[in-house]
Amino acid sequence: MHSLNRRAWVEIDLDALLRNAYRIAEHLGVPLLPMVKADAYGLGAVRVARMLERMDPWGFGVATIAEGEELRRSTIARRILIFTPLLIGDFDAAIRSNLTPTLGSAEAIARWRETGRPWHLSVDTGMSRSGIAWHLVPTLRDLILAAPPEGVFTHFHSAELANPSRMIQERRFDEAVAALPMRPAFVHAENSPAVEHRGPSRWSFARPGVFLYGVTSGNTPLITPDPVVTVRARIVDLRTIGDGETVSYDGTWKASGERTIATLSIGYADGYRRAFSNRGQVLVSGKRVPVAGYVTMDMTMVDVTGVACKIGDAATLLGADGAERIDIIELARIGELSPYELLTGLRGRLARRYLENRS
């Protein structure tokens, strides 16, 4: 048995990832800046970036200097933008790795100006998280004349919702760009939900994130992604329990009649959340079976009564087994979680298996 298969693992379909990227580019008609922050949403930033290099992206987006440094060590040479505000004390590290900051304060812009390096202006149009408020952009006029930004951008907070928020943010962003003493070479705004609900783009490039990794925001999107992520774990124990016997901590699950319980070698320390206790479903031999009792740190129990299986078989916690599929939207709803949270919560203890060139 291959060592990656002994316990639990994540399968990442790199071919599907690349198809999703091309689908966005074709839909929008502009280059992409794929977001590979948080280790490419938990899937491995280096492998993901190398695959996406095949489509000649404009650059890559990260959240921290360490994430950018990792890509540089892996010979990723194109532009890397850091989308979390940098502390001024971190500027030297950004310079050493040729990383491009996104700046939104007068103090940061004035200090970065001394480097003579490119930067992008971050404009807050309603997210209230980072960047200069759209109506305050004129206060930066002198600084921007002295050190013009290479790019300017904003971030949509609710592009997937059927409300006027995106229209309001676009109007504010247009006002901010018009207030600049010159139009930067690159103007960008579209995240994954924005990509799904409009096209072609009217900006320089798009910044897809979770769509690349197989997650849709729903609400009648114009395009949808192919699934990318599968999570599997081995059955490591099988036992028959009698009527009234309990499973897992606190005895929250009680057998109704004689039941067969399979123990899977995955738990919340791997990213399979405790929120799925007594609520989640798993695929065993192509059939849906319920989670029985609390998910524990290292193991999860499921009721496999009437399902043919044996120790060593792989159960599917996310993804497809035969005709059945548990997708990430379904799993997130069961756990009352965000799909983003699920993906980025897949822990390093889970081996990564990369699948490519299978067509």
Same domain? For 43 and 142 the reply is: yes
Q: Is residue 223 part of a domain?
A: no
**pLDDT (0 to 100) of residue 5:** 55
pLDDT of residue 240: 98
**Is 283 inside a domain boundary?**
yes
On whether residue 252 sits in a domain, the answer given is yes
Q: Give the residue from 168, 185, 213 where a domain finishes.
A: 213
pLDDT number for residue 219: 81
Contact 265, 8 (CB under 8 A): yes
pTM recorded for the entire structure: 0.94
Pairing of β 100-103 and β 120-124: parallel
Residue 125: CB atoms within 10 A of its CB come to 25
For residue 317, the domain's CATH number is 2.40.37.10
Nearest to 34 by CA among 218, 229, 192: 192
Which residue from 87, 94, 95, 147 is spatially nearest to 121, judged by alpha carbons?
147
- CATH code: domain of residue 179: 3.20.20.10
The number of folded domains in the chain is 2
- Residues with pLDDT less than 50, the chain: 1-4
Out of 213, 249, 268, 310, pick the active-site residue.
249
Q: Rounded CA gap, 141 and 139, in Å? A: 6
**Residue 310 among the catalytic residues:** no
Domain span at residue 180 reads 14-213
Active site residue 249: yes
Indicate whether 346 belongs to any domain.
Answer: yes
Catalytic residue among 22, 37, 254, 294: 37
Predicted pLDDT of residue 357: 86
